[in-house]
Amino acid sequence: MPNLIKKGFIVWFTGLPGSGKTTVANSAAEILRSRGFRVEVLDGDWVRRTISVGAGFSREERRRHLLRVAWVAMLLARNGVVVLCSFLGFGVNVLLGYVLFRRLLFLLLLC
């Protein structure tokens, strides 16, 4: 890992379905890995199939789903991993990210 960055960090990609969030996250992951970073991509579809199995789509269920993602991302980042999160939505998604991460870098992809 480059000397300038000893801790991990989180980048939260959000936008509409099919807007390229995961494609950009995966491309960024390849570039970061080639430069010596440890990287994980947390994609909404993958998380719903593995970590949040059975999570619904009501406002409360989406909030709990994103809370799980946020905690996993924070644990990874705290242990030196760059975490690229790719999720739908704006309101709850962005607010939750801001409250939990405070110094989170947001990249909004709008179509």
Question: What pTM does this model have?
Answer: 0.79
Confidence (pLDDT) at 45: 85
Confidence (pLDDT) at 52: 79
Confidence (pLDDT) at 111: 34
| DSSP string for 25-60 | HHHHHHHHHHTT--EEEEEHHHHHHHTSTT---SHH
**Lookup result for tokens 């242990």:** 79
Confidence (pLDDT) at 72: 87
**Lookup result for tokens 């999570």:** 55
Residue 34, both tokens: 């080639």
Show the CA angle centred on residue 44, arms to residues 21 and 35, nearest 5°. Answer: 55
Could you tell me the residue ranges of all domains in the chain?
Answer: 10-109
Using DSSP's 3-state secondary structure scheme, residue 16 falls into coil
Domain 10-109, CATH among 3.40.1180.10, 3.40.50.300, 3.40.430.10, 3.60.20.30: 3.40.50.300
Amino acid at 5: I
Residue 28, both tokens: 């960024």
For the chain, 111 residues long, give each residue's pLDDT as a single digit of tens: 555 456 788 888 887 888 888 999 999 999 999 999 999 999 988 888 888 788 888 888 887 888 888 888 888 888 889 999 888 865 555 555 655 655 545 444 443
